[in-house]
Amino acid sequence: MRHVPLTVQLLKLIARFNRAIGIKNEVSLSLDTFTAYLSSDLGNAFNPAHLHVYQDMTKPLSHYYINSSHNTYLLGDQLRSKSSVEAYTRALQLGCRCVELDCWDGPKGEPIIYHGHTFTSRILFKVGPPPRVGTLSLVAEFAHAGGACVSPGGGLRA
């Protein structure tokens, strides 16, 4: 088998896709040429075996999709905003079934929740009765009310 230099292979490939979109006698990679390549079988990034449904897709959508939340506790940007226990309540009441508890060691050794290494405010992780209800208490209360559950590892699962 004869070795064809990569440059020659690329030029032939570009010429092939240029012809496919109606460009003749030009060897330049235009956006249209590149798009034609990506849309072809050669440029397909997906596994061809997955073109056909190979899993059981007869269940309700909620069995495949979980409404989740990232940085659930933040009321604004992830560098300087306020953190809020109530943000967990709101997310769970709106149907979120997976929330993030971003736990860090607090100044007194007590776990806190905040976006680490930033200027966001901190909220307590602790569990306690009102009026000193911590984040975990609210998450557990509203998660169970919404059909989700708190796993023994502390995460929240549907």
pLDDT in tens, the chain (158 residues): 677 777 888 899 899 999 989 988 888 889 999 999 988 888 888 777 777 887 888 988 777 777 788 899 999 999 999 999 889 888 888 888 888 889 999 888 888 999 999 999 999 887 655 554 577 777 777 776 655 544 333 444 43
**Catalytic member of 3, 52, 63, 70:** 70
pLDDT at position 117, please?
93
Q: How far is it, in rounded angstroms, from Cα 124 to Cα 135?
A: 6
CB-CB contact of 85 with 135 (8 Å): yes
**Catalytic member of 3, 52, 115, 144:** 115
DSSP 49: G
pTM for the full predicted model: 0.52
The encoded tokens of residue 87 equal 């943000």
Does 63 qualify as catalytic in the annotation? no
Does 144 qualify as catalytic in the annotation? no
